[in-house]
Amino acid sequence: MSARRHPVTFIPGDGIGPEVIAAVQAVLAAAEVRIDWEERHAGARVFKAGVASGVLPETIESIRRTRCALKGPLATPVGFGEKSANVTLRKFFETYGNIRPVRELPGIRTPYSGRGIDFVVVRENVEDLYAGIEYLQTPGFAQALKIVTRRGSEKICRLAFELARAEGRKKVTCATKANILKFTEGLFKRVFEEVAKDYPDIQSEHQIVDNCAHQLVMRPEQFDVLVMTNMNGDILSDLASALIGGLGFAPSANLGDGASIFEAVHGSAPQIAGKDMANPTALLHSSVLMLRHLGEMKAAAAIENALLFTLEEGKILTADMAGGGREPSGTKAFTKEVIKNLGSAPKTYPRREYRRIKMPQVSPAAVAAKETRPMGVDVFVVTAIDPAVLGPSIESVLSGLPVRLTQISNRGIKVYPNTLGIESEPGDCARLRFKVARRGDTLADKDIADLLLRVGAKAPWVHVEKLFKYDGQAAFTKDQGED
For ligand NAP, the binding residues in 273-302 under the rule CB under 6 A are 278-279, 282
List residues bridging with 10 in a β-sheet: 39, 70
Member of 53, 268, 287, 409 binding ligand NAP (CB under 6 A): 268
Point out which span in 70-78, 193-201, 397-405, 437-445 binds ligand NAP (CB under 6 A): 70-78
* Minimum CB distance to ligand NAP smaller for 232 or for 268: 268
In this structure, what are the phi and psi dihedrals at residue 461, rounded to the nearest 5 degrees?
-90, 145
207 part of the interface to ligand NAP, by CB under 6 A: no
For this structure, is 177 an active site residue? Answer: yes
CA dist list (Å): 327 to 19, 113, 319: 20, 22, 8
**Rounded to whole angstroms, how far apart are CA atoms 76 and 53?**
10
Residue 21 binds to ligand NAP (criterion: CB under 6 A):
no
**SS3 category, 164:** helix
By CB under 6 A, is residue 248 in contact with ligand NAP? yes
User: What is the C-alpha separation between 15 and 75, in angstroms, rounded?
Assistant: 8
Stretch that binds ligand NAP, among 130-138, 227-235, 259-267, 463-471 (CB under 6 A): 259-267
How wide is the angle at C-alpha 408 spanned by C-alphas 405 and 412, nearest 5°? 135
SS3 assignment, position 37: strand
**Sole binder of ligand NAP in the list 53, 86, 153, 335 (CB under 6 A):** 86
Does 447 participate in catalysis according to the annotation? no
Phi, psi for residue 264 in degrees, rounded to 5 = -75, 155
Catalytic residue among 48, 198, 210, 275: 210
Query: Is 234 known to be catalytic?
Result: yes
| Collapsed DSSP state (helix, strand, coil) of residue 141 | strand
Backbone phi and psi for residue 438, each to the nearest 5 degrees, phi listed first:
-130, 140
CB-CB contact of 56 with 12 (8 Å): no
Q: Does 76 bind ligand NAP (CB under 6 A)?
A: yes
CB of 246 to ligand NAP, least distance (A): 7
Please state the closest distance from residue 248 (CB atom) to ligand NAP, in A.
4
State yes or no: is 130 an active-site residue. Answer: yes
**By the rule CB under 6 A, 16 interacts with ligand NAP:** yes
Residue 389 CB burial class (10 angstroms; 0-12, 13-18, ≥19) = exposed
Q: Any contact of residue 95 with ligand NAP (CB under 6 A)? A: no
Among 73, 245, 251, 387, binds ligand NAP (CB under 6 A): 73
Nearest residue by C-beta to ligand NAP?
267
Q: Which of 118, 128, 224, 234 is catalytic?
A: 234
Nearer to ligand NAP, 249 or 461 (CB): 249
CB atoms within 10 A of CB 444: 10
Q: Vertex 159, ends 156 and 161: CA angle to 5°?
A: 115
Name the residues that contact ligand NAP, by CB under 6 A: 16, 73-76, 86, 247-248, 263, 266-269, 271-272, 278-279, 282, 320
Catalytic residues: 130, 177, 210, 234
